[in-house]
Amino acid sequence: MGKETKLMVGTDITDDHLYEHCAFHADPGQQPLRIDKFLMNRIENVTRNKIQQAAKSGAIEVNGASVKSNYKVKGGDHIKVLFSHPPHENLLIPEAIDLDIQYEDDDLIVVNKKAGIVVHPGFGNYSGTLINGLLYHFEQLPLNSSDRPGLVHRIDKDTSGLLVVAKTEFSMANLSKQFQEKTSSRKYIALVWGDVKEDEGTIEGNIGRHPQNRLQMTVFPDTSSGKMAITHYSVIERLGYVTLIECRLETGRTHQIRTHLKYIGHTLFNDARYGGDNILKGTTFTKYRQFVQNCFTLLPRQALHAKTLGFEHPSQKKWMDFEAPLPHDMETTIDKWRNYAQHKHI
């Protein structure tokens, strides 16, 4: 393991050997756009401040020359983010992170991930990830096809809930096969904007990277692009301007629930990346807007929780089910909406 590298404001990079962490080509029709904003739309789980720090330290190059954060990206520009440490080896550093382990044996671990924790290291998140914590608690974990220790599947940074982690090569292969063949079971609880009319339904539509915003996924209904994705949902409770639903994944695409729910017009509550931080139209009452803002403060993330997880144990060959209760931020926000709806303020 290498020594942890931290990005320091105002520290120039002078090493002879730099390593490429990210690279992008601006489309020919790209309109002039500050490079910090450009990169915000292309690098996941990174803040604008971290991008600005990288530019200040000379770590961002355009067409081979270092640029500042106010550089305007133009069509055809070749952008690179460079650092003096390799992009993978020095990121896998064990850290004493508190993990909520629901179950553990010789083959696997089931973790209840807190919202706000990134699952694996990447640009802008070199430490504090779930993998950093796992490597501290478990020295040896098998690598998946992306060289990420133990990971069978993942959930987004601001989604809470259950993950299974493999401790052996055999468990990694077996569990990965279950997820690929759709024999595992995953259910999520989501609070969405709008009154979902049908009690239950299925959303089908290929999911792929959004052509304009590379941090978003989008649905390609004509199946010309993306990968097939299926999400089943059922209504738990209608609360006026929002609805509490359960989602069951048949496939496991990136941002699948977030993308599918936006596609049917019911974006996740406070999902900033997909527009869920915009207050649903329907009223202009000042008190209503303040109420929603208060809910956003209570739940400063998308309202999505991976509540249940089921799979066949790789070596014991018995079915295992796990359930994680709603975290406090979601439970409190749902209670507020329930109280609001009951008092007919809507």
What pLDDT sits at residue 282?
A: 61
What pLDDT sits at residue 5?
A: 29
What pLDDT sits at residue 6?
A: 32
CA 138 to centroid of chain Cα atoms: 24
The residue type of 186 is: R
What pLDDT sits at residue 8?
A: 28
| pLDDT < 70 stretches in the chain | 1-20, 44-45, 83-91, 122-126, 214, 282-284, 344-346
The Cα 50–Cα 21 span in angstroms is 14
The Cα 190–Cα 265 span in angstroms is 14
Write the DSSP string, 260-300: HHHHTT-PBTT-GGGTTTSPPSS---HHHHHHHHHHHHH--
The pTM for the full model equals 0.76
Q: Catalogue all structural domains in the chain, each as residue range(s) with its CATH number.
A: 19-83 (3.10.290.10), 92-180 (3.30.2350.10), 185-342 (3.30.2350.10)
The Cα 259–Cα 197 span in angstroms is 19
Interval 106-119: pLDDT, tens? 999 999 999 999 88
Considering 15, 77, 105, 156, which one is annotated as catalytic? Answer: 156
**Residue 157 half-sphere exposure, CB side, CA atoms within 13 Å?**
17
The Cα 265–Cα 251 span in angstroms is 20
Which residue's entry shows tokens 């295992």? 320
- Residue 156 annotated to the active site: yes
What pLDDT sits at residue 214?
A: 67
Interval 217-240: pLDDT, tens? 999 988 778 999 999 999 999 999
Residues pairing with 305 in the sheet: 160, 189
Contact between residue 288 and residue 337 where contact means Cβ atoms under 8 Å apart: no
The Cα 279–Cα 238 span in angstroms is 17
Task: Specify burial of residue 33 (Cβ count, 10 A radius: 0-12, 13-18, 19+).
Answer: middle
